[in-house]
Each structure stands twice: as structure tokens, then as C-alpha cells.
Amino acid sequence: MSRLKLGVLGSGRGSNFVALATAVAEGKVAAEFVVVGSDQADATILEEAKKRGIPTVVCPKGNYRTKLEEQIEEGLAEQLGKAGVELLILAGYMRVVKEPLLKRFKGRMINLHPSLLPAFPGLRAWEQALRAGVQETGCTVHWVNEVVDGGS
């Protein structure tokens, strides 16, 4: 059985990546990680990938706080494509993805979001939930589209 080739983008600790990598290593998921990328050169997710022998890529932050410049994102999309990524996972990736990634990975990109969407989209979802006083919250895994946290 062929294993699905996974790529991950993250901006921080990589706790979701570690959980996914553990599931793959234990044979619970028929997949393999071919690359892990970040917009933060010092992100722990990169160290976690290197410990597991997974290639890493760091893209420059550019001039925007919430997204990459188009040419930078095009370069990232190209690198992920060359690595053979079949499914791209956004796991704590704190940038809004735009056309270069959306186009290359259309129908093949998922996001892990720390709320039960459509409640509490965007940044700091857990803080939004606490402020709202909700009794229950959770996580959403959804297909990524051009609407931030709006995929199905």
C-alpha cells in the first residue's frame, strides 16, 4: 500500500505535528512526512521534524504580519511541490494562505483550528471562547479555501 506524502506548515511549537508524527510512526496512519516548513526560523516544529529526519524549509517573513508576500509564497509552494507533498497540513501556521498555495494544493490542504468553527475563527480562538463563556469548545479540521477558517 502506498503511503500518502504529507507536508506540514507551522509557526510554533509543533504539538499537533508531534501527535501526527507519532501516529504515523506507530503505523496508525498510512502516510509519511516529506517536508515540514515554517515562517519562523526558530520554530520548535522545525526541531521536531529534524529529530525525526524530516527535511525542513524556512521561508522569509517578508513585509506583512499575517500573510506572505506573493513571490515568497510562490517559492514555498514550489518547494512543497518539489518535495512531493500530496496533502498539506496547516498545523499552527499563523499566516493566511493566498493564491500560490491555494492553487497548487486545491482540495489537498487542511487546517487544524482550535475551535468548533464557525465559532471563534481567526487568531486566539481559545481566548475568544473563554471571553464568550462557552461551556464547550473543541477543534475543527477543515479543507482550506480562500476564506480564513471558512473551508468545509
| Catalytic residue list | 113
CA–CA dist 26, 9 (Å, integer) = 22
- Asked if 143 contacts 110 with a C-beta cutoff of 8 angstroms, the reply is yes
CA–CA dist 128, 121 (Å, integer) = 9
Residue 49 sits at φ, ψ, to 5 deg, of: -65, -45
